[in-house]
Amino acid sequence: MSGLDTSVRRTTILAVALLVVVAAALASLAAGDASASRKASESQLKAAMIYRLATFVRWSDGSLPEGAFGVCIIGDDSMASALESITSGRKLLGRELRVGHLPDVATAEADCALAFLGHTRHDAFDALLERFDANVLTVSDMPEFARRGGMIEIRSVGRKKLRFEVNQGAFERAELGVSSRLLELAVEIHAPTKAGG
């Protein structure tokens, strides 16, 4: 009888331990799903902001390639998916939008009118500015992007709150016009560098 009681106790302990392990695994999966959901939500907000910000930018006549308005996403899967979803059926400057997801700057096509560099691609910053030196709007959520020479830097400032910085000098060097309204909404503006300064 004592042996039977011991066996029952051992079985009960193993069952409880198994339940604890399963519960921990489920909690971990739930946390992962919630994290993925938050990330997707932030990507969608940033995608919507990118689309909206582009409407405040002016490309000179003849500076855009023929056909669709090309948006190149470099190094950010979630942003590419979010932009494709956000821009589906929409137009920009009277053109259909075409979103391309690229592994690196070197594979970028010549018809990009807007290039977004994912915040994890610090290594590609210089190549981005060299590759898209004129008539291409450069955007990123990488810290210090605007200060270092990118045009628009998107910043997260709280739960589902986004702000942006503008580098006015970068717009001028790329021969792109920027609406005064966009400058009014920016939290920080990096002014054009004076000649000789």
As given in the structure block, the two tokens for residue 197 are 């300064």
Given this model, what pLDDT does residue 3 score?
54
The rounded mean pLDDT for the chain is 77
Instruction: Report d(CA 44, CA 59) in Å as an integer.
Output: 25
Residues of the chain falling short of pLDDT 50: 4, 6-37, 40, 195-197
Q: Which helix (H) or strand (E) is 83 found in, with range?
A: helix 77-87
Given this model, what pLDDT does residue 193 score?
58
DSSP, collapsed to helix, strand or coil, labels residue 77 as helix
CA distances, 130 to each of 16, 39, 55, 106 (Å): 61, 30, 24, 10
Q: Which helix (H) or strand (E) is 176 found in, with range?
A: strand 176-178
Instruction: Report d(CA 176, CA 124) in Å as an integer.
Output: 22
Q: Cα torsion for 129, 163, 80, 54, to the nearest 10°?
A: -70
Fold of 45-190: Rossmann fold (3.40.50)
